[in-house]
């Protein structure tokens, strides 16, 4: 019997310029689930949502995330339909940074996921680091 609270966990991200904040989220998620599935945002979805392409291409971001010991499986996140992904992957937990807690979008996800037996778990955000911060540093 596993001492993990959840069977299948799911988290998503762009994972551009992989950094310690990314690693912390994956490690903290894996500590709570037996099997961790990570959705890596496609280049096209990133461009559509953020009006910019990642610095690291999709194929390389997938390869980096696949190589992390806390990750059991990588899938592509090509749209924002998280409910569909959770159903398809049979996840009973979705892990997301605490900076999203209480936002209208995530309150709605909590409501939708509850109907299918999936819990939203907010993980502490690593202060002082993000891909946006790294991008700013590179532009200086």
pLDDT tens digits for range 30-73 = 999 999 999 999 999 999 988 889 999 999 999 999 999 999 99
Q: Quick check: is 67 in a domain? A: yes
> Of 90 and 3, which is predicted with more confidence?
90
What's the domain range around 120? 9-139
Neighbours of 61 (CB within 10 A): 24
Q: Is-contact 71 65, C-beta < 8 A? A: yes
Cα torsion 80, 84, 85, 86 to 10°: value is 120
Q: Is residue 2 part of a domain?
A: no
Task: Report the candidate in 95, 15, 77 with the shortest Cα–Cα distance to residue 41.
Answer: 77
pLDDT band at 133; cut points 50, 70, 90: low
How confident is the model at residue 3, as a pLDDT? 82
pLDDT of residue 134: 65
56 is a domain residue:
yes
The reply to whether 82 falls in a domain is: yes
In sequence order, the β-bridge partners of residue 52 are none
Asked whether residue 1 is domain-assigned, the answer is no
**Which residues are CB-neighbours of 30 under 8 A, at least 6 positions away?**
9, 36, 70, 71
Amino acid 122: pLDDT: 96
User: Total domain count for the chain?
Assistant: 1
pLDDT tops 60 at residue 1: no
H helix or E strand, kind and range, residue 131: helix 131-139
Domain membership of residue 93 (yes or no) is yes
Write the CATH number for 91: 3.40.50.620
Helices 104-114, 82-89: inter-axial angle, 10-degree rounding: 30
Residue 21 has pLDDT above 80, yes or no: yes
Q: What pLDDT shows up at residue 124?
A: 87
Residue 5, judged by CB atoms within 10 A of its CB (0-12, 13-18, 19+), counts as: middle
Residue 125 has pLDDT above 90, yes or no: no
Q: Cα 6 vs. chain centroid, distance in angstroms?
A: 16
Task: Answer yes or no: is 3 within a domain.
Answer: no
128 located within any domain: yes
State pLDDT tens for residues 59-108.
999 999 999 999 999 999 999 999 999 999 999 999 999 889 999 999 99
């Amino acid at each position: 019997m596993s001492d993990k609270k959840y069977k299948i966990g799911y988290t998503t991200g762009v994972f551009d310029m992989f950094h310690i904040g990314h690693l912390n989220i994956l490690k903290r998620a894996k500590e709570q689930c037996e099997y961790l599935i990570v959705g890596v945002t496609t280049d096209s979805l990133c461009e559509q949502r953020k009006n910019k392409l990642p610095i690291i291409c999709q194929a390389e971001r997938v390869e980096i995330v696949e190589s992390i010991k806390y990750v059991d499986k990588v899938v592509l996140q090509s749209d924002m339909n998280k409910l569909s992904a959770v159903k398809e992957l049979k996840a009973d937990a979705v892990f997301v940074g605490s900076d999203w807690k209480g936002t209208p979008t995530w309150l709605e996800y909590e409501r939708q996921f509850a109907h299918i037996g999936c819990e939203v778990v907010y993980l502490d955000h690593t202060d002082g680091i993000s891909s946006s911060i790294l991008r700013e540093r590179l532009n200086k």
